[in-house]
């Protein structure tokens, strides 16, 4: 028996991550300009770190919390959801999770049976399709409309529904495209979900990072949608808390109770130190969030300006949210985004992520993060310009 035979089909069916491959390859390159990760580069604000230290010193973190998360944290989350997302919830409708990722996994495990189809507007954050595959579900990719700023194709979604469709899973503001799905379309999507008795699972990790006049809208705020929706949020992006691994999901008590059954065998509870840090994040000043947003906005504008100054290599939709953009490669050699990105890394020392990592409709694109210092963007684009001018 080869070692492969020991591995479950669920897991062996998951392709290896192109993001991790680019990270591995980047480690072999001398000082690459690194635009590959969707990770805040700032450190967690001091008042949040201090609150965690206090909780440790007071002896509050040595045990498990209740499985759903500390009550005081869930109460603070309820207030935040009402204030910022127009979502009415009760603490019993909140599950504190290990980042948004574990909330999404628990939602998929609780809602998807083997063979169930899950519609994913694509290009998409690759983890979402992996989560469906782990649950032995079938991801069904519906292209989003690039020419329309990467917005949802509502008719395409309607047409993709079959007897096996169980759920629609999407992310807004979007990774990898930087689109923010419009309220009007999300309301139509809600109607489709109700008409066809579908669940909706959302990833709202970048909720605070929208630009210009664009506003984030939570589909679960529509009356009646909580009964069929799980919306996942996180502290990772909002407060630069990537490594704390803390987020939460909101849904009806009925769904949350079932999600808990998926949460307990994988996690028991979210890390307690991080729960105290999250509480301080919600109760403290929100100025840090405004500062992060302002920073990402100016980095978006810089990246767009540097793209505009290049000869005709890329075409892009201006991102209205997240801190990511997804330019289309206009050169013939760009139709294989993996080879294109490897070449860009090895010959121009710029690390990006190939579009194919975000589903088949991501091909011929690359993802660039503007959540990086100004100098990194300038170095990356100086190098890209030199590389293509020399060719």
Ligand X SMILES: Cc1ncc(COP(=O)(O)O)c(C=O)c1O
Nearer to ligand X, 103 or 137 (CB): 103
Using the Cα atoms of residue 217, residue 218, residue 221 and residue 227 in order, give the sign of their dihedral. positive
Q: How far is the CB of 240 from ligand X (least distance, A)?
A: 11
**Residue 144: partners with Cβ closer than 8 Å, 6 or more residues away:** 121, 122, 123, 150, 151, 152, 153, 177, 179, 361
Task: Give the 3-state secondary structure of residue 94.
Answer: strand
Closer residue to ligand X (CB): 206 or 340: 206
Residue 175 C-beta: closest distance to ligand X, Å:
4
Nearest to 352 by CA among 125, 16, 19: 19
Shortest reach from residue 179's CB to ligand X, in Å: 12
Q: Taking every pair of C-alpha atoms in the chain, what is the biggest distance, in angstroms?
A: 62
Residue closer to ligand X (CB basis): 242 or 379:
242
Nearest to 203 by CA among 170, 251, 180, 238: 170
Residue 324: CB minimum distance to ligand X, A: 8
Taking the complex as a whole, how short is the minimal distance between the CB of residue 40 and ligand X, in angstroms?
9
Nearer to ligand X, 42 or 330 (CB): 42
Q: Which is nearer to ligand X, 14 or 313 (CB)?
A: 14
Residue 289 beta carbon to ligand X: minimum distance, rounded to whole angstroms? 15
Q: Which is nearer to ligand X, 170 or 334 (CB)?
A: 170
**Residue closest to ligand X when measured from CB atoms:** 99
With 0-12 CB in 10 A as exposed, 13-18 as middle and 19+ as buried, what is 156?
Answer: middle
Binding site for ligand X (CB under 6 A): 38, 99-101, 125, 171, 175, 203, 205, 234, 236, 242, 247
CB of 292 vs ligand X, minimal distance in Å: 14
Distance, in Å, from the CA atom of 47 to the CA atom of 61, rounded to the nearest integer, reads 18
Stretch (H or E) spanning 339:
helix 337-348
- Judged by CB, which is closer to ligand X: 201, or 225? 201
Phi, psi of 8 (to 5 degrees): -65, 150
Cβ contacts of residue 146 below 8 Å, gap of 6+? 317, 328
């Amino acid at each position: 028996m080869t070692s492969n035979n020991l591995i479950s089909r669920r897991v062996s069916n998951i392709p290896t991550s192109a993001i991790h491959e680019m990270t591995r390859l980047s480690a072999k390159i001398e000082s690459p300009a690194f635009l590959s990760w969707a990770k805040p580069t700032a450190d967690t604000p001091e008042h949040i770190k201090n609150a965690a230290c206090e909780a440790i010193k007071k002896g509050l973190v040595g045990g498990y919390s209740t499985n759903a998360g500390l009550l005081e944290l869930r109460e603070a989350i309820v207030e935040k959801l009402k204030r910022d997302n127009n979502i009415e919830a009760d603490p019993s409708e909140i599950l504190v999770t290990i980042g948004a990722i574990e909330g999404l996994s628990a939602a998929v495990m609780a809602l998807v049976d083997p063979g169930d189809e899950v519609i994913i507007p694509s290009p998409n954050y690759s983890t979402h399709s992996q989560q469906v595959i782990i649950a032995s579900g079938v991801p069904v990719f519906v292209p989003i409309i690039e020419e329309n700023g990467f917005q949802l194709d509502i008719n395409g979604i309607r047409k993709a529904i079959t007897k096996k469709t169980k759920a629609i899973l999407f992310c807004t503001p979007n990774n990898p495209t930087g689109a923010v799905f419009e309220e009007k379309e999300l309301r139509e999507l809600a109607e489709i979900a109700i008409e066809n008795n579908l669940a909706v699972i959302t990833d709202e990790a970048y909720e605070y990072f929208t630009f210009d006049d664009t506003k984030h809208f939570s589909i679960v705020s529509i009356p009646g949608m909580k009964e069929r929706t799980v919306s996942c949020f996180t502290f990772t992006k909002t407060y630069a808390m990537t490594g704390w691994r803390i987020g939460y999901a909101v849904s009806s008590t009925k769904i949350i109770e079932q999600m808990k059954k998926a949460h307990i065998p994988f996690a028991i509870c979210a890390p307690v130190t991080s729960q105290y840090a999250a509480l301080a994040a919600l109760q403290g000043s929100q100025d840090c969030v405004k500062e992060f947003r302002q920073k990402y906005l100016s980095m978006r504008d810089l990246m767009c300006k540097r793209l505009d100054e290049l000869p005709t290599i890329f075409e892009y939709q201006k991102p209205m949210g997240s801190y990511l953009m997804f330019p289309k490669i206009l050169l013939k050699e760009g139709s294989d985004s993996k080879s294109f990105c490897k070449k860009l890394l090895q010959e121009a020392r710029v690390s990006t992520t190939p579009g194919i990592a975000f589903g088949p409709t991501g091909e011929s694109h690359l993802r660039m993060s503007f959540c990086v210092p100004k100098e990194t963007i300038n170095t990356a684009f100086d190098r890209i310009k030199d590389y293509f001018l020399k060719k």
